Structure 1
Amino acid sequence: MNEQDYIHIYTQLILKSLKGTLEEVERDRLEDWLSQSQENRDFYERISQEHLLEEEMAFFSSIDSKGAFGKLKQHLPSSGKRENQEKKWWIRYAAAAAMLAVVIMGWGIYGGWLSIAPPTDQGTLATVDVEPGTDKAILILPDGEEILLEGAAEGTLKEDNGITVDKRLDQVIFNVRKDYTTPESKVNKIFVPKGGKYQVVLADGTKVWLNSASSLAFPSNFTGSSRTVTLKGEGYFEVAHDPEVPFIVQANDTEVKVLGTHFNINTYENEPLTKTTLLEGSVEVSHKDKSKVISPGEQALSNGQLSVSKIDTRQVVAWKDGLFMFKRTKLEDILRQLERWYAIKVSFDGDIPEKHFSGTISMDTNLSKVLGMLEMSGAIDFELKNGTVYVKNTTH
């Protein structure tokens, strides 16, 4: 067993013990580890007494464990007389402790139990913070009228010739009167800025969740032999089933054709690929002169070529449920997500650190706390100034 496997196994056992979810075999294994030395038991008891569990959030870094541990150690209280004695076993068990410590620190910061602010030393986070995004969007009607949905009262926003536009919570809903027969297709557009999310229910009953910095162009009423919309940015679709009239999403130079299904499309301009991920049903993805039918749990990647691979769909659509979910995700990919959700800019000082992170965190978390947890990798410092996050690679 290598060091990383060791860290992962005992981290999970300790966490499950703190949450009271250990099975009998796991409990025996943990007890065996605790009985191996007094140092192991001291560490477990010290962590247990901190009361830092928060089930709504778990964030851990599996990279540069010793560096992460070093940063956390600065914040943990010493025990006075035992300081020198403890120093030896803290160093000895740094690798195992670090991964667990990052989780515990993450929970503590998120839950508000720790009176620890992100570091404000030179090159790290400033005291200025950025709050998370909210439900907001701008609806542009066919006649050019713009409605700021965030500030609009709930109820009917517009009624015109058999088509009603309503707002309910964080949804804008298009309804068509049953006797509506006008064949003219009028195009609406909903734009979600950085720092926002919104949901729109189309005239056929299709539901669309739009992520930050995204837009959707769609008709007030679908007519003809297809239901066609145009997406920029990222959207999650739950398409109303209609075998006679296929639903088509145009996203840059990729086209997704469905009858009724659940899928996600990520087509941001600053992302290297257009990603179509299927959760339910089947879709046909076309890109240039190629096309492929994908099944649930698969993702089509299009950028000159068209390829299909298996994917963890939970990670892809976590944003819809208000979560950042990372699974060995590159730092640069994470920062692009933060740019959109917190409406900030990111600037790199030197090379982008080659780091990967795994974990889940609520999108309702303030930016400084997210960056503070990323800093626990021991290889990155952030400075937040005037809406820009400056990233410094500390490995050089």
Structure 2
Amino acid sequence: MKENKFIDNEVFQPKDEEEREKLEFFWNRCTPEDTDVTESIRQKTFRKIHEEERKSTVQQKRSSKTLYITIASVAASLLLLVAGNWFFSHDNSAGIKEVAALMSSVDPEDAEDITLMMSDSKKLQIETDSRVAYTSKGTVSVNSKSLSHDAEMEDVKEEKSAAKNEYNQLIVPKGKRSQLLLSDGTKVWVNSGTKVIYPRVFKGNKREIYVEGEIYLEVAHNAEKPFFVNASGFEVKVLGTCFDVFAYKQMEARVVLAEGSVQIKDNNEKLIKMVPNELVSIAENGIKEKIRVNANDYKAWIDGLMILDGENLNRLAERLSLYYGKKIVCDSSLYNETVYGKLDLRDDLNDIIDFIKSMIPLSAREENGVIYLYRE
């Protein structure tokens, strides 16, 4: 392992922990074989350092320690920039979680439109319920329309680009949904408030994607290349099957299996296998429990429906906030009230709340764009 010279705890303090983690990863884990790339990083870094040294000669007011911090910060930033560009355009042994941690992104909480972020940093806003599809060569289209005006030339460009391990992102904000067809034929339905990171073309001996939010997958069978869905606290391994992954921030995660079989591994290396119509919940400290359910109830959202079989009102309010893109706050006295029935998510939110009122005696008011539910 290389000696970590840039990250000196006494004199260099990164802006935040995320920047430190990126530096640690690049410095200790990335070992480019391309000598031109490493030489380029070295030359650009030291040119920047010399520039700062020349500036310091003019500005004598700076102390030597402040100068060192400035130089280290510049060098570290440049290392992240250059190494980051190398990292995302070359084959590497990093897992998808490490890729996700290093990629620039948009938080679904802050997004207004569905955004497709390409590996070349291009961003494309697309309509709700649009279908983003990739061919086996990595050519991408939206609703069957290629993103290039010259499809033939784009095929050549994409095929060359696919030789590298490049990643795209699909960010779906609250209140919107989308569909994704991956290069191996796997179908992914992407729910509101969700981010999916995936390679344009799957390379190597496994297929991996990363998700924050909720997706339903129909995984294309390939016994030689198992498929992995990674989230912040667990991973799901599968050869070919249909299942739902619910992994929103600040909410307890779960996996529901509809067909086939999968294996879940949490951050504590605990393993659990699933069969159809089972739900596994994952808390912050790892796998929590496995129960029997009707899997069809948990995938109904892809058809615009929500099946409720005793859902507590607080959790329902959180889910409706995601689906409708409007914050709903439930009074604590109503948290454990349960709701049964079927909601049509194409209905107006006010109609949904009226349906809930028919079962639970409550009132609703809206203030500053937030809907509050409270006991009558």
User: TM-score if structure 1 supplies the norm length?
Assistant: 0.59
- Counterpart of 1:263 (choices 214, 230, 243) is 243
Answer whether contact 1:171 1:200 (CA < 8 A) is retained: no
SS in 1 for 2:333: coil
Rounded to whole Å, the distance in 1 between the matches of 2:238 and 2:132 is 31
2:342 aligned with 1:367, yes or no?
A: no
What's the CA shift for 1:176?
9.9
Please give the per-residue CA displacement for 1:104-157, whole angstroms capped at 9, x wherever unaligned. Answer: xxxxxxxxxxxxxxxxxxxxxxxxxxxxxxx9621000011111111899999x
1:383 aligns with 2:365: yes
**Which position in structure 2 is the counterpart of 1:280?**
259
SS across alignment from 1:371:
helix
Q: 2:328 aligns with which of 320, 324, 346?
A: 346
Q: Return the match for 1:199 from 179, 186, 195.
A: 179
Q: Are the aligned partners of 2:137 and 2:201 in contact in 1 as well (CA < 8 Å)? A: no
Conservation of the 8 A alpha-carbon contact between 1:344 and 1:388: yes
Write out per-residue CA displacement over residues 183-212 of structure 1, whole angstroms, 9 at most, x where no aligned residue. 411000000000001000000000100110
Report if aligned partners of 2:317, 2:329 keep a CA contact under 8 Å in 1: no
Q: Distance in 1 between matches of 2:229 and 2:146?
A: 20
Query: Residue 291 of structure 1 contacts residue 306 of structure 1 at CA under 8 Å; is this kept in 2?
Result: no
Q: CA offset at residue 163 of structure 1?
A: 3.0
Matches within 5 A, 1:329-344: 329-344=311-326
Q: Deviations over 1:322-362 (max 9, x none)?
A: 10210111111111111011111123445334311111121
Helix, strand or coil for the counterpart of 2:315? helix
Contact 2:114 2:128 survives alignment (8 Å)? no
Tell me if the contact between 2:129 and 2:178 (Cα under 8 Å) persists in the aligned partners.
Answer: no
**Residue 163 (structure 1) aligned with residue 145 (structure 2):** no
CA drift at 1:321? 1.1
CA distance 1:320–1:226, shift in 2 (3 Å) = same
Change (3 A) 1:382 1:211: same
Matched to 1:330, the amino acid is N
Q: Tell me, in whole angstroms, the C-alpha distance in 1 between the residues paired with 2:168 and 2:350.
A: 37
Contact 1:262 1:281 in 2 (8 A): yes
Structure 1 partner of 2:340: 358
Structure 1 residues 335 and 388: CA distance shift in structure 2, 3 A: same
Could you say what secondary structure the match of 1:279 adopts?
A: strand
Give the structure, 1 or 2, with the largest relative contact order (CA under 8 Å, sep 6 or more): 1
Other-structure match for 1:149: 126
RMSD: 3.3
Distance in 2 between the 1:170 and 1:259 partners? 30
Residue equivalent to 2:215: 235
Alpha-carbon distance between aligned partners in 2 of 1:381 and 1:154, rounded to the nearest angstrom = 38
CA distance in 2, matches of 1:279, 1:292: 16
Q: Secondary structure at the match of 1:365?
A: coil
Q: Distance in 2 between matches of 1:280 and 1:171?
A: 32
Partner AA of 2:265 in structure 1 = S
Q: Give the aligned length.
A: 256
Contact 2:128 2:178 in 1 (8 A): no
Distance, in Å, in 2 between the alignment partners of 1:306 and 1:151 is: 34
Query: What is aligned with 2:109?
Result: none
- Indicate the percent of aligned positions where both proteins have the same amino acid: 27
Distance, in Å, in 2 between the alignment partners of 1:373 and 1:265 is 27
d(CA) in 2 for partners of 1:182 and 1:327? 45
Question: Whole-Å Cα distance in 1 between the matches of residues 320 and 132 of structure 2?
Answer: 32
Aligned to 2:166: 186
Within a 5 Å distance, the mapping from 1:20-169 to structure 2 comes to: 137-150=114-127, 162-168=137-143
Give the counterpart of 1:320 among 299, 302, 325. 302
Q: TM-score, with normalisation over the residues of structure 2?
A: 0.62
Paired with 2:187 and 2:206, the residues of 1 have a C-alpha distance of: 17
Distance 1:244 1:176, change over 3 A: farther
Pair 1:236–1:318, CA change in 2 (3 A): same
